[in-house]
Amino acid sequence: MKLDKIISESYTSTMYLDGDTVIKAFSHNISKSQVFGEAYVFSRISETSLKVPELLGANQLPDGRWAIYQKYIAGKSILQMIRPFGDYEKYIKLLIDIQLEINNIIIQDIPPLKFKLERKIQTLVGKQGLNGAKIYSLLTRLNGMPRHEKLVHGNLSVKSLVETEDGELYILGWGNAARGNGSAEAANTYLDLAYVSTAMAEDYLKFYCERAGVGKHYVSNWIPIMAASRLSDGHLSKAQTDVLMAWLDM
């Protein structure tokens, strides 16, 4: 096993490519139970009809970090296929179709999205100029949102979908998967697209509401909550932070 080819990094993990295997190595402060919890959720998702990478296992690396192993999916992401942004409509609609397919699945024994969001928002007290009153307001809004039990990806974006050479479309990046409200997922995807193109984000929101049969306000009500959740992740650029902060007072 070689850990010399890094394909992505975050503040909690590093992804390595070793042959046809992706190794997601977690930071030393991520516990064994957290890693196995994520592996369990991924295993439950792999038992559904969704096209996801094969889960190969989980164990401890020689340096003490815990890791999850999955099969590497070679191909192009939707983001790579829509650059430049002259003709993105069909890809955005494809993303929405996949999103609704995910939301149609129910898996009861995975963590609730509201619980995850609550923990993230609580970590923001005193950060980014946010005081206790603002955090309380966000948590009150979160607690008042409709409770659903749908499978949500947790970070679905144009980078999450990869098409192979034979035309198979895989859904990657399930580390934040939970059960909850599909409109919360849509709000999160909207924010991710807003980093790239405001016009694309607005078109996504319009198409999503049309296809999901929900009012725009229903998704928009989730945007400040999801923006706060993203702020808690840290390691954001100033431009990303500015976008998220602007949405907190919506």
Helices (H), the chain: 32-46, 78-81, 89-103, 113-122, 132-144, 182-196, 198-212, 216-220, 223-231, 238-247
| pLDDT tens-digit readout, 65-80 | 999 999 999 999 998 8
Q: Which two tokens stand for residue 31?
A: 């516990």
Which amino acid, one-letter code, is at 96?
Answer: I
User: Could you tell me which of 229, 233, 232, 231 has the C-alpha nearest to residue 245?
Assistant: 231
Whether the ω angle into residue 84 lies within 30 degrees of 0, i.e. cis, is yes
Domain boundaries, the chain: 6-71, 76-247
**pTM for this structure?**
0.92
SS3 233: coil
| pLDDT tens-digit readout, 18-68 | 999 999 999 999 999 999 999 999 999 999 999 999 999 999 999 999 999
Architecture of domain 6-71: 2-Layer Sandwich (3.30)
The edge-to-edge listing of strands for the beta sheet with 169-171 is: 76-77, 161-163, 169-171
Domain 76-247's class? Answer: alpha beta
pLDDT at 85 over 70: no
Helices (H), 24-150: 32-46, 78-81, 89-103, 113-122, 132-144
